[in-house]
Structure 1
Amino acid sequence: MPRTQWSDDENDLLVADYFVMLAADLAGLPYNKAQHNRALRSTLGRSHASLEFKHQNVSAVLQGLGEDWIRGYRPAVNYQASLKDAVARWLTANPDWLGAVDRGGVSKPNPGVRDGAALWIGPPPTHSNAPPPMELDRMMAVARKFDVAGRDARNRALGLAGEQRILAHERASLICADRPDLADRLRWVAHLDGDGAGYDIHSFERDGSDRLIEVKTTRGWERTPFYISRRELDVSEVRRESWRLVRLWNFSREPRAFELHPPLSNHVSLMPTSFQADLR
C-alpha cells in the first residue's frame, strides 16, 4: 500500500536538504540533485518520483513566499499544509535567510547591485498572463499568511539595493538616449531627503520631462504583493503625468522589472491595512 502522508520529521529533513541545494544554486556552485535524491531515499524510504514531486512542492511554497526556488524544480502547488509549516519552521530557525540581500555571503555577488546596464522593462502582469486560478489563489494565500509584502517593506537593505539598481538603469538609459546632461541631474530623493516625497528617484524622460519613480523590490516572482503608502498614492494622483511605480523582481538572480502608470487602481487591487484611530 503506497505511503501518502508525510510526517513533520520527514518534511523537515527534505526541506533542510532543499535549502542546501538552493544555497549552492544561488551561489553558482555545483551540486548533484540525483545524489541528494539518493541520500534522502536511503533516509526516508520514499521513491525517487515522490521526492522529486515534493521538491516541486517546496518550490511552490517558496514562490508564494516571494522567495527564490530551485529552477530545476518547477513549482507544483498541490502540497499538504504540513509542508508549508515545515518551510516556515526552517525559515524561523534560519532568520538570516529572509533578511539578506545576498544571502549573507553564501551567494555570488548580487547582479541587481553590481550591474549598471539598463534593465529590460517588461509588461506588467495581467489577467491574460496569470497562472491558473487555483494556483494563483494558493500563492496569494501563502503571501498573505506570511505577510510577504510587509517583509519586503521592512527589509531596508533590499529596498536600498533596488533603488540603487533603478538609479543605475535610469542613468544608463539617459546616456544611451544621448542625454548625459539629464543623467547628471538624476536625484536619489529617498536617500538624500528621506521617504516623505512619495517617490524614490527623480529621473527624466528623453525630452526632459520629469519621471518620479517609486521603486518596489522583491526577490520573488512578479506577482509578489507589495505595500504602498498613502503619501505615495496621493502623489501618484497629483503628479499623474510624471509619477511611475517600477516593480523590481527576481532581484537575487536576474533582476527584471515592469512599470505601472497611474491610476494604480487600473493595475492592482488596493486593500487598506491600517486605520488612524482618533479618540471620541
Structure 2
Amino acid sequence: MATEDGVTGSAWTEAEVEATVAVYFQMLRMQELGQKPNKAEHNRRLQQLLPARNAASIEYKHRNISAVLILYGAQPLTGYKPLPNFQRLLVEVVGRALERDRALDEAAIRRVETPAEPPLLETFEGFVVEVPTPTVTVNDSRLEWVKRTPIKRDYLERESRNRSLGLAGELLVMEYEARRLHDLGAKQYADRIDHVSKTKGDGLGFDILSFDGDGRERFIEVKTTAYVAETPFFISPNEVKFSSEQPDKFHLYRLFAFRDKPQMFTLPGAVAANCLLDPVSYRATLLGNSVG
C-alpha cells in the first residue's frame, strides 16, 4: 500500500515535490486552455528528472496534488482522482505554485465564467454513478493545513455563480427526471415536473419538483460543475435548512464533468448528514446599538 511518502517508502524531498508540481501545473494550464495534455509523456519526462521515483509513485503524487487543489478551491487535473494522504510540504508547494502562476489564474477564470449549454444526450445510460469516496474526514488535520495557508483561489466559487452553467445543469436534470418517470411507467407524474427555481423563484430551497414512481414528491437541488466528482460545491443556508426539514423528500443531484461527459451522483436526505459544511463567509449587517 502506498503511503504519503510514495510507493518507494522514502520521504519526498522539496526538490522532488516542486518538480512534480511544476509538471502537473503545466498540464493543468493546458487543460484550462482547452487542450489535452499527454499525461503519459509528461510523466515519462518527470521520471527522468526523478530517478528515485517510479511511475506508480509519481501517479500517486499527482493524485495527492489533485486533493490539495480541491481543498484550495481550485480545479484539479482531470484523470487524476484525488488521493488525500498528502504531506504538509505538498500543501505549501502547491500554494506557492497557485500564487505565482498567473497564466493558470487567467485561463481558469475564463473557463469557469464561460457560458454553458445543456448537452444533447441520446441516452442516460451510465449517467448516474456511485457517490465518490470522500477525500477528507471530520477534524482532518489536512484541512487545517490549507486553512492556515494565505493562498486561496475562488475558481469554484466563481463557477458556482455562472448562471448559465447552473441553468444548463437544471435543464439536463429536468430531462433526466422525465425519462426516469417514463421508464417507471409513471408518465402522469413526468408531466407534472416543475422547474420551481424558474417558475416560483430561488427562495424555496430546491430547484426542481419531481416525483417518485408512486407519486411521492421529490425536492431536487441541482449543483453543477465542469470538474471532477469530488469537487466541493457551494450551498446556501436556506437550502441546508430546507433539506433538514424535508429529509425524506430532499435529493441533491451533483452533476460533474459537465462540459465534457456529464455524469451525476445523488445525495438523498439532509445535506448536513452527507457533507462537511464549511462556513466560508458571513454576511455582516451593522447593528443599531453598535458602539463607536
Q: TM-score, normalised by structure 1?
A: 0.69
The aligned counterpart of 1:175 is 182
Residue ranges of structure 2 left out of the alignment (5+ in a row) = 1-11
**Cα deviation, residue 21, structure 1:** 6.1
Q: AA paired with 1:84?
A: G
Structure 1 unaligned segments of length 5 or more: list them.
none
What's the CA shift for 1:19?
Answer: 2.3
Cα 1:32–1:208 change in 2 (3 A) is: closer
Q: Tell me, yes or no, if structure 1 residue 14 matches structure 2 residue 20.
A: no
Kindly indicate whether the alpha-carbon contact (under 8 Å) linking 2:27 and 2:37 is maintained by their aligned counterparts in 1. Answer: no
- Structure 2 CA distance for partners of 1:165 and 1:95, relative to 1, 3 Å: farther
Quick one: distance in 2 between partners of 1:153 and 1:74? 21
Structure showing the higher helix proportion among its residues: 1
- Counterpart-to-counterpart distance in 1, 2:32 and 2:104: 16
Q: CA deviation at 1:198?
A: 1.8
Taking CA–CA contacts closer than 8 Å with sequence separation of 6 or more, which of the two structures ends up with the larger relative contact order? 1
Letter of the aligned partner of 1:260 in structure 2? P
Question: Residue 13 of structure 2: which of 4, 14, 33 is its match?
Answer: 4
Amino acid across the alignment from 1:246? Y
CA distance in 1, matches of 2:223, 2:17: 35
Question: Relative to structure 1, is the Cα distance of residues 137 and 188 closer, same or farther in structure 2, using a 3 angstrom cutoff?
Answer: farther
Tell me the residue number matched to 1:261.
269
Q: After the TM superposition, which residues 96-115 of structure 1 pair with which residues of structure 2 at under 5 Å, given as runs?
A: 96-100=107-111, 113-115=119-121
1:86 matched to 2:97: yes
- Whole-angstrom CA distance in 2 between matches of 1:116 and 1:279: 58
Deviations 1:202-236 (A, max 9, x none): 11121223212111223445554333223323433
CA RMSD of aligned residues (A): 4.4
TM-score by length of 2: 0.66
Whole-angstrom distance in 2 between the partners of 1:143 and 1:253: 32
- Separation (CA, whole Å) in 2 of partners of 1:99 and 1:242: 37
Shift of 1:86: 1.1
CA drift of 1:200 comes to 0.7
Specify the code of the residue in structure 2 equivalent to 1:215.
V
CA–CA distance in structure 2, aligned partners of residues 133 and 239 of structure 1: 25
Q: Partner letter of residue 182 of structure 2?
A: I
Could you tell me how far 1:237 is from its partner in structure 2?
4.5
Deviations 1:16-69 (A, max 9, x none): 432266469x86x683623x3465678xx5548379365444434344446342
The residue type paired with residue 4 of structure 1 is T
Please give the alpha-carbon distance, in whole angstroms, between the structure 1 residues aligned to 2:81 and 2:203. 42
